[in-house]
Amino acid sequence: MRVWSGIAPPPDDRATACRSRHRLTTVEALLRRERTVVACGLALLTLLAWSYLWMGAGTGMSATAMTRLVLFPHLRAGPMSMMRMESPHFVWALAIVMWWVMMVAMMLPSAAPLVLLYGRVLRQRRADTRPGAAYAPSAFLAAGYLAVWLAFSIAAATLQSVLEPVGLLSTTTWWSSSATLSAVILATAGLYQLSPLKHACLVQCRGPAEFLMRYWRPGRLGAFVMGVRHGASCVGCCWMLMALLFVGGVMNLAWVAVLAVLVLVEKLAPAGPLVGRISGVILLVWAAATAVV
């Protein structure tokens, strides 16, 4: 039996202590890269959301089977949906999840500048300088933002469950089977794109620095409330664009991708407001064409 005496630890213990210090140093270095870690987390969450949609979002069908680029979807038929065999409550719950994941995939990238800026401001303002101190508040901010889109998803799934039984929404492709419904949604979305309310909400979404200066609240609860407020502005900005999914197909990933790009351009590009107005005019022309086809 070996007995060690002296101040220094045995060789094995010294190696263990060295490895522990190395692991601690690595973790601390990682925690100090808060901006990079948060950005990667947001990107990973967005990628997972898109992957879930690509795999069919629990519908029992592949995304490619429900993805079409058509100007007048009410003139086209689609493949049979497997969800019709399930109970209405299950379909409604699954639709809520599907809508919410779509909102995460489409809207989270445009919220990333606010979340990242919030973490930077928090590190500069707070007395707690421990590595990773901004992680939890940033997560609460993102959670508040996504909670508002969850509420929107519940409303959208409920509307879907109303439109489908009355024949206005296809039971096979979840896109509009009515020229009137398509024209009304397109025209309403076009008018909203040109409205002062749309512009006011878009200004809130395009200015994360101004938003934080105006609505700053301390603490994790404050971060959640700020996320809810910013999410409400984004819903006010984009809710009619999301309603276009009822025209082109709720699980039509081509439409989802086009709308996601439009949202990003509106919120992040210098010419975003102009692009939004141009899209409004295009939607009005599209509505008129749909009404006469």
pLDDT digits (tens, 9 = 90+) for 210-259: 999 999 988 899 999 999 999 999 999 999 999 999 998 888 888 899 99
Q: Are the C-beta atoms of 177 and 274 separated by less than 8 Å?
A: no
Sign of CA dihedral 170, 176, 177, 180: positive
Instruction: Supply the pTM of this predicted model.
Output: 0.81
What does the DSSP assignment read for 167-191?
A: TSB-TTT-SB--HHHHHHHHHHHHH
Cβ neighbours of residue 91 closer than 8 Å, sequence gap 6 or more? 83, 84, 161
Structure-token pair, residue 33:
């890269």
> What distances in angstroms separate CA 197 from CA 24, 47, 201, 236, one per listed residue?
51, 31, 6, 8
Q: Are the C-beta atoms of 157 and 245 separated by less than 8 Å?
A: no
Half-sphere exposure for 292 (CA within 13 Å, toward CB): 5
pLDDT digits (tens, 9 = 90+) for 82-132: 444 456 777 889 899 999 999 999 999 999 999 999 988 887 766 545 555
In whole angstroms, what is the distance from residue 80 CA to residue 134 CA?
48
Q: What values do phi and psi take at 145, rounded to 5?
A: -60, -45
Q: Is the pLDDT of residue 190 over 90?
A: yes
pLDDT digits (tens, 9 = 90+) for 31-46: 556 778 888 899 999 9
Q: Are the C-beta atoms of 84 and 189 separated by less than 8 Å?
A: no
Averaged confidence pLDDT in the chain: 82
CA 249 remoteness from chain centre? 18
pLDDT (average), residues 60-69: 72
Alpha-helix residue ranges (DSSP H) falling in the chain: 11-32, 34-54, 88-125, 135-163, 179-193, 196-206, 208-215, 219-243, 245-248, 253-268, 272-292
pLDDT score, position 37: 82
Q: What values do phi and psi take at 176, rounded to 5?
A: -60, 135
pLDDT score, position 267: 93
